[in-house]
Amino acid sequence: GQQLNQNPQSMFIQEGEDVSMNCTSSSIFNTWLWYKQDPGEGPVLLIALYKAGELTSNGRLTAQFGITRKDSFLNISASIPSDVGIYFCAGLANAGNNRKLIWGLGTSLAVNP
Amino acid sequence: DADVTQTPRNRITKTGKRIMLECSQTKGHDRMYWYRQDPGLGLRLIYYSFDVKDINKGEISDGYSVSRQAQAKFSLSLESAIPNQTALYFCATSDFTGGDTQYFGPGTRLTVL
């Protein structure tokens, strides 16, 4: 099935560093979502983006909806140990009522204290 | 209390056994989903239901069946479990009028021996 290209696949960083990850697609999306999955838990929504060019923050997290509508970016500033987890992007294209999320494969983040 | 609950949280079973995983939600959402997560493969959609009378196959429905007993309940069955169905299973819900942002349960870890 269709998937998003999410990069990088994994990151290992020092506490305090900033983190950047992105998702790209060959298709246009009308909604971009960013989720975080803690070990042993279900994904939790971090940020939702609904308009091309939109820049939205949630604490130390900032996400952007790309102007082309084919990509999105997530930045984490001043990382802390509890940022560890898997970050997923997901895109939603309006196709009438029968629309489904398309998922990236995730970016696994490890933070060294 | 959690908005999306899954039971059981963990299950170990043997090859050939029938298994049912249950999902309940109190969010009042009309749409429910079952995903499977394997390391490195992200979230793969098994089945989804847009309302009580609607059932749709996802990308990996073979070997699985579902039942939407009520708006709040969506169960996933493995009629004859096999070892490669060992995975983490997630239920999710969404609301069409709410932009179809999906909200996840805590997951069920299934091991088939």
Nearest to A101 among B96, B102, B105 (CB): B102
Residues in chain B: 113
pLDDT at A100: 75
Higher-scoring residue by pLDDT: B7, A98: B7
Residue appearing with tokens 């990850």: A21
Average the pLDDT over B9-36 and give the result.
96
Write out pLDDT tens, residues A32-50: 999 999 988 999 999 999 9
- Mean pLDDT, rounded, for A6-16: 96
With 80 as the cut, is the pLDDT of residue B96 above it? Answer: no
Whole-number pLDDT of residue B1: 60
Residue of chain A with shortest Cα separation from B106: A42
Q: Which residue has the higher pLDDT, B19 or B41?
A: B19
Chain B CB within 8 Å of residue A93 CB: no
- How close is the nearest chain A Cα to the Cα of B33, in Å? 10
| Cβ-contact B72, B21 below 8 angstroms | no
Region B64-91: mean pLDDT is: 96
State which residue of chain A sits closest to B36, comparing Cα positions.
A42
Q: Would you state the pLDDT for residue B42?
A: 87
**Residues A59-102: pLDDT tens digits?**
999 999 999 999 999 999 999 999 999 999 999 876 666 667 88
> How sure is the predictor about B95, in pLDDT bands with cuts at 50, 70 and 90?
confident
Query: Contact A31/B96, CB-based, under 8 Å?
Result: no
Banded model confidence at residue B20, pLDDT cuts 50, 70, 90:
very high
Interchain proximity A42–B100, CB inside 8 Å: no
B-facing residues of A in 11-70 (CB < 8 A) are 31, 33, 35, 40-45, 48, 50
> Inter-chain contact B42–A40, Cβ cutoff 8 Å?
no
CB within 8 Å: B45 and A100: yes
Please state, in angstroms and rounded to a whole number, the distance separating the CA atoms of residues B61 and A88.
22
B110: which residues sit within 8 A by CB, 6+ positions away? B10, B11, B12, B13, B19, B21, B78, B81, B85, B86, B87, B88, B89
Phi, psi of A43, rounded to the nearest 5 degrees: -60, 145
Minimal CA–CA distance to A53: which of A73, A75, A34, A25?
A73
